[in-house]
Structure 1
Amino acid sequence: MRYAIYFTPPPGDALTHAASVWLGRNVFSGLPVDHPVVPGLGLHEIAFHTALPRRTGFHATFKAPFRLAEGQTESSLLNRLMRFAGSIEPVALPRLEVARLGDFYGLLLSRTCPPLDHLAASVVQEFDAFRAPFSEAEIERRSPEGLSASQLANLHRWGHPYVMDEFRFHMTLTGPLLGKDFQRVEAALRHHFDPVLQERPVVANLALFVEREPGAPFQVHSLHPLGRISVRKIA
């Protein structure tokens, strides 16, 4: 069993619906969803290009997947997560936009958001005591030879290369693509997602995801609203 602490919009959100259709799986129910019909990209191509993010589910990573450290339990993790979420106020994000990050596409912020960066770093630090350390074999599987010095230090210290100063908010929508596919996939993504990206999203919850066995799809275990009960915004 592995756990992860992510952001994902609530189940009734229009962005959740659009992402479930695009990826072909609802991350709350775990059930398959029919892919959309979009110009210029066949259903079989969408299924192929979304295979990797379909398994991990629609999310932005705060605390990357981890096994529980010795002496920690799911109950203790849930208790800490509920208390922590109640001490943090929701964060209004800049508008999201379809963009390419390396060789894959996702939803990225249209501009920087320091309060979000602070939240992400706080989650990494707050829950590191729950993370079992990596073995040398696990570190090797993460291709450390391709990381910068800062990213490698993060991998060893925090269990993920892209945290702290290396953090960049993104919600993955494809696996790695060939250059010849960039233009068609981007056009299809914009056609599908642009109508639901007009509103600024709010990080109003932290989501605990679970992977119940190696290779199994990640699924939402529970949502933990941010902010004091009297003032929190729950979608």
Structure 2
Amino acid sequence: MRLTVLAATGRVGRHLLAQALEGGHEVTAVVRDPAKLGEWRERDGVRVVPVDLSAAGAERELRAAVRGADAVLSGLGPVGKAGVGVAESGTRAVVAAMREAGTRRLLVVSAAPVGTVPSPGRPHPPRHDPGEGPVVRHLVTPLVKRVLRAHYADLARMEDVVLASGLDWTVVRPPRLTDRPLTRRYRIAYGQNLRGGASVGRADVAHCMLHAVDDPGTVGQVIAVAS
């Protein structure tokens, strides 16, 4: 398949890039700074497109990156305070570029707590996620949401953009991300978080996304993934 990976130098994006190449796919890597790709720039099957997704007019540069792709996979998300807002604005640019290019399949990474975060498109979300146990519901999630309030608000607005896009979308919501190696032993659930799912490796999130690309059952679905 021909895949476009957004934020390919990010901590999830690097796994998407590596696993896609190992699977024999042709990959277009969308990055802000191509120098950060290192050895990947020299690999066969990689086309590098430098785009600042936070810049105005990014969708114009993205058209060539998404045109002809079988799927676009986004590891885009806020990193640090300076990055808050990039998930929404970058995804908005990607959606616009995909519509113009006629590319339909979009998969994005969000986060487990986002299902209970208000957004313009969903001002009154459920107070609690049905998949959470009492400790997570009353202790862990409220604490994490206070600390990362702006980050989750950005991801919630990003989800609004995706759900309203009219594309063949899938939203993947992991809990706390770790750097553990690829295990392929993870659980998924549709429409709610996973009981006891406190963490998952970024490599396994990438694996889940890549395996969802051509699974029609994941289109139009919010999927939780956790170890």
Shorter-chain TM-score tier: under 0.3
Higher gyration radius (CA): 1
Higher relative contact order (CA 8 A, sep 6+): 1
**TM value normalised by structure 2:** 0.24
Q: TM-score, normalised to structure 1's length? A: 0.24
